[in-house]
Amino acid sequence: MRTFWALFAAATLAACGQQADDSQESAAEAAAEPAPPSIYAAAVANESRSDQDRARDAGRKPGEVLEFLGIEENATVLDMFSGGGYYTEILAAVVGDAGRVIAQSNEAYLKFAGDEFKARYENNRLPNVEVRMVENNELSLAAGSIDAIMLVLTFHDFVIDDAENGWPLIDVPALLAEFHKGLRPGGIVGIIDHYAEAGAPAETGDTLHRIDPAIVVSAMESAGFVLEEQSDLLRNPDDDYSKIVFDPELRGKTDRFVMRFRKPE
């Protein structure tokens, strides 16, 4: 009888050991399998993107920026002053087929974007994007219809007054009020722009195309938004704030701030 129980115990222990080994093997195999890319990494890696766009990625870090801002799948996003549509295309991939991107532009930005705009949208390349041509001070949004708004390197342009070239001075409080109306409660405004010296006047937006972040924060908070977080993703301590951002040595390499504002619930 003792021999029987000894053999039974040995068999049981062996079976338990085999189960443990099998579990460890399964866990190791699962760990070895690469995790699927995030929606942000997948959007940046999209094979349909142009080589021209990909060449800009290192300096712009679009995947990391959109993840920081919290742009979600299925969202409706307004890409304000979208220009040639670099961010529009990535946003379209992030929000997916059930989401929507409104790419706002105007005549002044179309001239700046050149052929890039046409190539971006020809043959219905981005079916979940609505191009909306709206001139300065004419934007109208349905209340609570937008989940997020992007302002990429454009807030500094709000101080420019050049009606002769299609850029009348923007009524900033009115525009921000329209953003506030159009965003759903809890909606996001993501702002990226070139740093100016602390205390630099607003007119620096016209002369150097830079802006003191304090001006942005003051305007946004006055409009009822809350600065939730600021990221250092695009910082460059070697930038020279005394130079225009289009300087050949600086273009694409300026020191930039990334801010996430939220409309309170």
From residue 104, give the alpha-carbon distance in Å to each of 47, 123, 163: 25, 19, 19
C-alpha–C-alpha distance, residues 169 and 151, integer Å: 17
C-alpha–C-alpha distance, residues 1 and 84, integer Å: 85
* pLDDT per residue as tens digits for the range 189-227: 999 999 999 999 999 999 999 999 999 999 999 999 999
What order do you get walking across the sheet with 76-80 strand by strand?
Answer: 129-133, 100-105, 76-80, 146-152, 183-194, 256-262, 226-231
Is the model's pLDDT at 158 over the cut of 90? yes
Burial of 201 (0-12, 13-18, 19+ CB in 10 A): middle
Average pLDDT over residues 86-99: 98
* Residues with Cβ within 8 Å of residue 145, at least 6 apart in sequence: 76, 182, 184
What is this structure's pTM? 0.86
Question: Taking a C-beta distance cutoff of 8 angstroms, is the pair 174, 220 a contact?
Answer: no
Q: What percent of the chain has pLDDT over 70?
A: 87
Vertex 98 angle, CA 187 and 55, to 5°: 80
C-alpha–C-alpha distance, residues 69 and 194, integer Å: 17
* pLDDT per residue as tens digits for the range 16-39: 455 545 555 555 554 556 777 799
C-alpha–C-alpha distance, residues 49 and 94, integer Å: 13
- β strands within the chain, DSSP E: 76-80, 100-105, 129-133, 146-152, 183-194, 226-231, 256-262
Q: What SS3 state is found at 190?
A: strand
The fold for domain 39-262 equals Rossmann fold (3.40.50)
The domain spans of the chain are 1-33, 39-262
pLDDT-derived band at 9, boundaries 50, 70, 90: very low
Please report where in the chains the tokens 């219809």 appear, as a residue.
145
